[in-house]
Structure 1
Amino acid sequence: MTFASLGLIEPLLRALETLGYQTPTPVQAQAIPAVLAGRDLMAAAQTGTGKTAGFGLPLLQRLTQEGAVVAPNSVRALILVPTRELAEQVHANIAEYAEHLPLRTYAVYGGVSINPQMMKLRKGVDLLVATPGRLLDLFRQNAVKFSQLQTLVLDEADRMLDLGFSEELRDIYKALPKKRQTLLFSATFSEAIRAMAGQTLDNPLSIEVSPRNVAASTVKQWIVTVDKKRKPELFIHLLKQQHWKQVLVFAKTRKGVDELVDRLQGLGINADGIHGDKPQATRQRALDRFKASEVQILVATDVAARGLDIEELPTVVNFDLPIVAEDYVHRIGRTGRAGLSGEAISLVCADEVQLLAAIEALTRQTLRRIQEPDFEPDHRVPETSASGEVVKKPKKPKKPKASSGKRNLGKWVDSGDSEPAPAAKPVRKVPVFNTGPRKRKP
């Protein structure tokens, strides 16, 4: 099968040839004809399988063939994504696909000034990539209008709900035309997303090109158990022992990112970090330096779990396990992309055992455990299983206390012979004396 056989027009095929795209991935092969036909679509495909091209290529073709002139401050197609990083990545891909097309594309997101975005939207945009919060800000200031909107794409919709965008999504739905094409693309679909799809999609075609919530088979996964306080020491040990050249590390909190980066830099290791408190320009600079191999270690919160597209990234380390199990799939999906192999290592302490169990239940596998010599945890990490259960070892029976040969059995004393215990002495009654005043005899 070729991209030409899917019905794509020549300018798109020329762009794909330049990018080195030769054969459609499974999700592209199924999604492109459906989107071209105007169908609503609900597609589940694990990260790194070409989802963006799956909706981006046919969407650009439809916009081109319909040839409508976009009005000022209007958009004809809208792609919603959960994070700034993903917005930039998706728009960069769209811009590459549209290189030979007469279309205007743009991306808007928070964390940067809104004024340049308002100026850019004045002439109208054929395809807009946006995060929900910034899109609503622009809409409320009349900087963007939806009267010409034909297609809505929700990319990583489950992540948008995880990040608390449900109210923003409801407000956006109210502003959009009821008659439209709606596409849902994500690596995972929670029950909440499936319920939302039932309310917002019209007779959608469902595509699942991989088992639900399963990590890519190209990623080798294992965990190392360790006490929480020794995680930084263990990471540095593994970094040197395994000779890691380029590592993306995920930490749970912004403070955790900064502390690990400071410790690595203090040892002369070239490291940088990105999280929500850092300005967008700073985050982008750190990411660009990491992609260019100028930075060896990039430490990030889950703000970077989706939207980082790093070619040939060999290693991902979960310094902390994610709170939401689905984020594990997206984190490790940063490696092992486009058919290449990768490895994902998780440092797990005792108080993360429930998070580990949830991940194993989601991915339907029990992750291989390793105990690194000299880092065996004092606080044991209980065994887990792919069913999501935490296997508790039975308590060891208490050893009997050493005795002198006599066991107290209630009223009896066993001395090892059959003689009965001596009879108890009778209790002597003590007379009660009257201590009141004595009466005189007359």
Structure 2
Amino acid sequence: MTFKMLGLSDALLKAVSKQGYETPSPIQKKAIPAVLEGHDVLASAQTGTGKTAGFTLPLLHILSQSERSKQPPIRALILTPTRELAAQVHDNVKQYSQFTQLKSAVIFGGVNQKPQVAVLNRGVDVLVATPGRLLDLHSQGVVSLKQIEILVLDEADRMLDMGFLRDIERLMNLMPVKRQNLLFSATFSKEIKKLANGILRKPVVVEATPENSTVDAISQKVYRVAKGKKTGLIIKLISEGNWTQVLVFTRTKHGANKLCKKMVSSGISAAAIHGNKSQGARTKALAGFKAGTIRVLVATDIAARGLDIPLLPHVINFELPNVSEDYVHRIGRTGRAGASGEAISLVSADETVFLRDVEKLVGLKIPVSIVEGFEPDPNASTEPVKQGQGRQRKQTTRKASTKGTKKGSGSGLRNRFSDDQGRGGQSKRRKG
């Protein structure tokens, strides 16, 4: 199977060849023909298996086949949950469309909207956006969605987890009823299937891999360790292993900052990336990590879906996520595009339940090791940790939703997660 056999235009085939792609991935083989035939698509595939090209290439093909005006209306909208993912998807759109006449743009919050507005005013065929900033610009009369032909919801499961449902529903009402809808997700939850039923019309269901499975190329390992010794152990592993590019996940923003400082004080160049960081700081940290000037990037789950780092060798769960599905997305940052990778989890006694949930989800008994001097505390409680994100985050979301409604400020869900939904003004007012 070749990309040419999928029926893509010469301009797209040229762009694909320039990127070094030779054969389509399983998700691309299944999704691209379905999209080209005009079907609505519900697709599930592991992160790092080529989902973006799976919807971007056929989308660009369809748009390029019709005449284009000098100042085109927005004809295709790609919604993403985070700024980093929006930027990454737009980079892909630009790469694939470079030999066509199509114009694209990306908009998200946390940055000045003026440059984004200027680009939109010149006309855009394909828009990549986070929901909050898109709604803001629409309310200002800057964006019109009346001529949308194709809608893509990328990482739809993360959008629901972050409380975007009401925003998505509002955006739907601003678009033509007759349009092609593509819903791409790493997992198929009950909530995703419910969302799909309300959006998609007789969809073609595409699954490239079993639900919630982990990439075979990823070597997974658990280190049992006392909670208070985790920082020492992770520094030992990185230093003695001479690892030069390590992505580390924590449950909280405070935890990410604290660990980052410990790394730096131990002589390991590190940067933190999470929702409280400005967009400029996040972009700088990610650029430094990719360039190799920053050795360790410490992130919260907000960053798990938007980071695309080629040949990333190591991912470390400094703390296991409260929601086991997030484990799949975290370790999916390595082992991408056929490359091998290592995923390590540092597990203390109070994370025993989380580990059991993860192993049940991925259908694998993960090998366990203990490092001398960093042994687990035999007297520590195995009661799950109480703080963090995950399920408690959803409870906070519901409270915030009620509070927002009482104040007449619109969706409380949107207010709670304004930092990554794209409401630049709100995120500036937030403290911390």
For Structure 1 versus Structure 2, the TM-score category normalised by the shorter chain is: 0.7 to 0.9
Take 1:223 and 1:19, find their aligned partners in 2: how far apart are those partners? Answer: 36
Match of residue 23 from structure 2 = 23
Take 2:355 and 2:109, find their aligned partners in 1: how far apart are those partners? Answer: 33
Map residues 72-221 of structure 1 onto 2, 5 A cutoff: 74-221=73-220
Take 2:50 and 2:106, find their aligned partners in 1: how far apart are those partners? Answer: 20
**Structure 1 residues 381 and 18: alpha-carbon distance in aligned structure 2, compared to 1, 3 A threshold:** farther
Letter in 1 for 2:48: G
Take 1:47 and 1:134, find their aligned partners in 2: how far apart are those partners? Answer: 25
Take 1:272 and 1:31, find their aligned partners in 2: how far apart are those partners? Answer: 37
Letter in 2 for 1:320: E
Q: What is the deviation of 1:161?
A: 0.7
Larger radius of gyration: 1
Letter in 2 for 1:315: H
Q: What is the deviation of 1:71?
A: 5.6
Take 1:83 and 1:153, find their aligned partners in 2: how far apart are those partners? Answer: 14
Letter in 1 for 2:333: R
Match of residue 397 from structure 2 = none
Q: Does 1:321 align with 2:320?
A: yes
Give per-residue Cα distances to partners, 1:343-393, cap 9 Å, x unaligned: 00011112222222222222122222111112111146869xxxxxxxxxx
Take 1:356 and 1:178, find their aligned partners in 2: how far apart are those partners? Answer: 44
Match of residue 346 from structure 1 = 345
Give per-residue Cα distances to partners, 1:142-167, cap 9 Å, x unaligned: 11111110000000000001111111
For structure 2, the 5+ residue unaligned runs are 384-432
Q: Does 1:230 align with 2:232?
A: no
Give per-residue Cα distances to partners, 1:16-61, cap 9 Å, x unaligned: 1111010011111111111111100001110111111110001001
Q: What is the deviation of 1:116?
A: 2.0
Superposed CA RMSD? 1.6
1:324 alignment partner, SS class: coil
Give per-residue Cα distances to partners, 1:182-213, cap 9 Å, x unaligned: 00111112110011101110000001110110
Q: What is the deviation of 1:136?
A: 0.9
1:243 alignment partner, SS class: coil
Take 1:180 and 1:23, find their aligned partners in 2: how far apart are those partners? Answer: 29
Give per-residue Cα distances to partners, 1:64-122, cap 9 Å, x unaligned: 102243767x4100000000000000000110000011011000011111222222212
**Structure 1 residues 380 and 241: alpha-carbon distance in aligned structure 2, compared to 1, 3 A threshold:** farther
- Of structures 1 and 2, the one with the larger relative CO (CA 8 A, separation 6+) is 2
Q: Does 1:272 align with 2:249?
A: no
Take 1:328 and 1:236, find their aligned partners in 2: how far apart are those partners? Answer: 21
1:344 alignment partner, SS class: strand
Take 2:208 and 2:366, find their aligned partners in 1: how far apart are those partners? Answer: 23
Match of residue 60 from structure 2 = 60
1:75 alignment partner, SS class: coil
Maintained 8 Å contact 2:350/2:380: no
Take 1:322 and 1:114, find their aligned partners in 2: how far apart are those partners? Answer: 34
For structure 1, the 5+ residue unaligned runs are 384-442
Take 1:176 and 1:354, find their aligned partners in 2: how far apart are those partners? Answer: 44
Maintained 8 Å contact 1:70/1:125: no
Maintained 8 Å contact 1:70/1:148: no
Q: Does 1:39 align with 2:39?
A: yes
Letter in 2 for 1:167: R
Take 2:246 and 2:112, find their aligned partners in 1: how far apart are those partners? Answer: 32
Letter in 2 for 1:239: I
Match of residue 14 from structure 2 = 14
My pick for the range that moved more, 58-67 or 119-128, is: 119-128
Maintained 8 Å contact 2:351/2:382: no
Letter in 2 for 1:48: G
Take 2:282 and 2:211, find their aligned partners in 1: how far apart are those partners? Answer: 32
Take 1:292 and 1:342, find their aligned partners in 2: how far apart are those partners? Answer: 19
Take 1:63 and 1:70, find their aligned partners in 2: how far apart are those partners? Answer: 14
2:75 alignment partner, SS class: strand
2:281 alignment partner, SS class: helix
Letter in 1 for 2:56: G
Maintained 8 Å contact 2:231/2:259: yes
Match of residue 409 from structure 2 = none
Maintained 8 Å contact 1:225/1:381: no
Match of residue 69 from structure 1 = 69
Letter in 1 for 2:65: Q
Match of residue 4 from structure 2 = 4
Letter in 2 for 1:181: Q
Q: Does 1:48 align with 2:48?
A: yes
My pick for the range that moved more, 86-95 or 356-365, is: 356-365
Match of residue 300 from structure 1 = 299
Take 1:359 and 1:132, find their aligned partners in 2: how far apart are those partners? Answer: 30
Maintained 8 Å contact 1:273/1:300: yes
Take 2:185 and 2:381, find their aligned partners in 1: how far apart are those partners? Answer: 32
Map residues 420-439 of structure 1 onto 2, 5 A cutoff: none
Letter in 2 for 1:140: S
TM-score with structure 1 length normalisation?
0.84
Aligned residues: 383
1:347 alignment partner, SS class: strand
Give per-residue Cα distances to partners, 1:277-301, cap 9 Å, x unaligned: 1111111111111111111111111
Take 2:57 and 2:231, find their aligned partners in 1: how far apart are those partners? Answer: 44
Match of residue 245 from structure 2 = 246
Maintained 8 Å contact 1:70/1:76: no
Take 1:341 and 1:57, find their aligned partners in 2: how far apart are those partners? Answer: 26
Take 2:287 and 2:186, find their aligned partners in 1: how far apart are those partners? Answer: 25
Structure ranking higher in helix proportion: 2
Maintained 8 Å contact 2:107/2:129: yes
Maintained 8 Å contact 1:79/1:155: yes
Letter in 2 for 1:273: A
Percent identity (aligned): 52
